[in-house]
Structure 1
Amino acid sequence: MAKLVVFGATGYAGGKIGAEALRRGHEVAGVARNAGSVPEGVDERQGSLHDEELVAQVAKDADVIVVATPARAIDGKKLIDAVPGLVRVARENGARLSFVGGAASLLVAEGGPRLFDTPEFPDEYKDEAGSHAEVLSLLREQPEDLDWFYVSPAAEFGAWTAGERKGEFRIGGDVLLTDENGKSHIGGDDFATAYVDEIEQPKHRRARFTVAY
């Protein structure tokens, strides 16, 4: 059994990951800026990942730190601003640091471009997409003793397209996965399954991977 700390535990991805981890018998502490509903069995804490004292406290003795929060600026602070503190705590505790990223930093084909660099990518999503890409770049610069992984969902992912658990999906690397019709999508339960699979059986150390049907 592993001990997980999930930042963004009341969000869509964080909630799904916490619930899946609990279903498999892991211990889960969930942190959110605003108290809200978390899966039954999650030890809920209110606070921010920008509070290094809180991060150090809740991550003590954790095996895996899960960050499932927006990357764009909220109250003047972006996710990347919290990365140095998260890295420090993970290294001090020997914990694995992991992130729910975005699909837009994936390449549309081998050799690029990234999805958010294509002309048709909506301007209103570029800030969030670029901010997630910055986090991934910073992780790749970290010392070798930091064990991390970063998971990009398919292009269509979220409460608005949750779907039903299929129990099957594909795992890719840095290139966007699409089906035979050109659609890139993944349901929340199956995304969480892939995420917790990686926690239980690590295959992507210090790497990004993607999940899609």
Structure 2
Amino acid sequence: MARIVIFGGTGYSGGNIAREAVGRGHEVVSYSRNAPAEPQEGVEYRTGSMADPAVVDAAADGADQLVVALHAVDVDGAPMLERTPALIEAARRHGARLSFVGGAASSLVAEGGPRLLDTPDFNEDWKPEATAHAAVLDALREAPEDLEWFYVSPAGLYGSYAPGETTGSYRTGGDVLVTKEDGSSEISGTDLARAYVDEIESGAHPRRRFTVGH
């Protein structure tokens, strides 16, 4: 059993990961700015911001896994990239494995690129969030060798606006966006959570990003 601490454990991604992890017998602690209206049984809820280094240090202390499931463009007044160094140092100091629910846009559309973010038809309105997530992945790749980390990029269609179907299965694609034969790319929140907790348990992608889709 692992002690899994989630920043954003009351949100869509973090909530699904928390539910999956508790269901497998893990100890789960959630940090968020506000207490949840409908808490999940088995999750310990704490309030606090990832922008506060003291909160980050307390979260990492005793954690086996430190999960970040937040929007990247603005974490209490600054991009996630500016909050990442404190996370990295806390994870290294306390021996926690750091991981992120990232975005699809940094995924490659084919081996060798380009990134989805860099394709001509990528929606301009999505670029700030996509770029912010991609910057965090770059920072992890440049982190000291003693930092244990992984980063998960979901399929193109993913989020609370498109919860999808729980199939109990998923496919992974390294750095390449996972697509179906018809070119579509999607993953449900529940199956993304399954893939995420599988990685927590297996450690199959050390210091790597991997993509997930149906």
TM superposition score normalised by structure 1: 0.97
Cα drift, residue 158 of structure 1: 0.9
What secondary structure, in the 3-state scheme, does the structure 1 residue paired with 2:197 have? helix
What secondary structure, in the 3-state scheme, does the structure 1 residue paired with 2:20 have? helix
Cα drift, residue 66 of structure 1: 0.3
Deviations 1:16-64 (A, max 9, x none): 0010000000000001122224422111111111111011112211000
Does residue 142 (structure 1) correspond to residue 128 (structure 2)? The answer is no
Instruction: Check 1:199–1:74 CA distance in 2 against 1; reply closer, same or farther (3 A cut).
Output: closer
For residues 89-108 of structure 1, what are the structure 2 equivalents within 5 Å?
89-108=90-109
Structure 2 unaligned runs (5+)?
Answer: none
Cα drift, residue 74 of structure 1: 4.4
Structure 1 unaligned runs (5+)?
Answer: none
On the 8 A contact 1:15/1:38 being kept in 2, the answer is no
On the 8 A contact 2:51/2:75 being kept in 1, the answer is no
On the 8 A contact 2:50/2:75 being kept in 1, the answer is no
**Corresponding pairs, count:** 213
On the 8 A contact 2:51/2:76 being kept in 1, the answer is no
Deviations 1:54-88 (A, max 9, x none): 11112211000000000002442111111111111
What is residue 112 of structure 1 aligned with on the other side? Answer: 113
Match for 2:177: what amino acid?
A: L
Measure the CA separation in 2 of the matches of 1:139 and 1:124: 25
On the 8 A contact 2:102/2:133 being kept in 1, the answer is yes
On the 8 A contact 2:168/2:191 being kept in 1, the answer is yes
Cα drift, residue 164 of structure 1: 2.6
Measure the CA separation in 2 of the matches of 1:131 and 1:57: 25
On the 8 A contact 1:9/1:31 being kept in 2, the answer is yes
What is residue 26 of structure 2 aligned with on the other side? Answer: 26
On the 8 A contact 1:63/1:94 being kept in 2, the answer is yes
**Runs in 1 of length 4+ with deviation above 4 angstroms?**
none
TM superposition score normalised by structure 2: 0.97
What secondary structure, in the 3-state scheme, does the structure 2 residue paired with 1:134 have? helix
Identity of matched residues, %: 56
What is residue 14 of structure 1 aligned with on the other side? Answer: 14
Match for 1:34: what amino acid?
A: N
Does residue 196 (structure 1) correspond to residue 214 (structure 2)? The answer is no
Match for 1:27: what amino acid?
A: E
Measure the CA separation in 1 of the matches of 2:28 and 2:9: 10
Measure the CA separation in 2 of the matches of 1:143 and 1:59: 17
On the 8 A contact 2:99/2:149 being kept in 1, the answer is yes
Measure the CA separation in 1 of the matches of 2:89 and 2:13: 24
Does residue 78 (structure 1) correspond to residue 102 (structure 2)? The answer is no
Match for 2:87: what amino acid?
A: L
On the 8 A contact 2:157/2:187 being kept in 1, the answer is yes
Measure the CA separation in 2 of the matches of 1:170 and 1:73: 30
RMSD: 1.0
On the 8 A contact 2:103/2:133 being kept in 1, the answer is yes
Identify the range of structure 1 (129-138 vs 45-54) with the bigger mean alpha-carbon deviation. 45-54
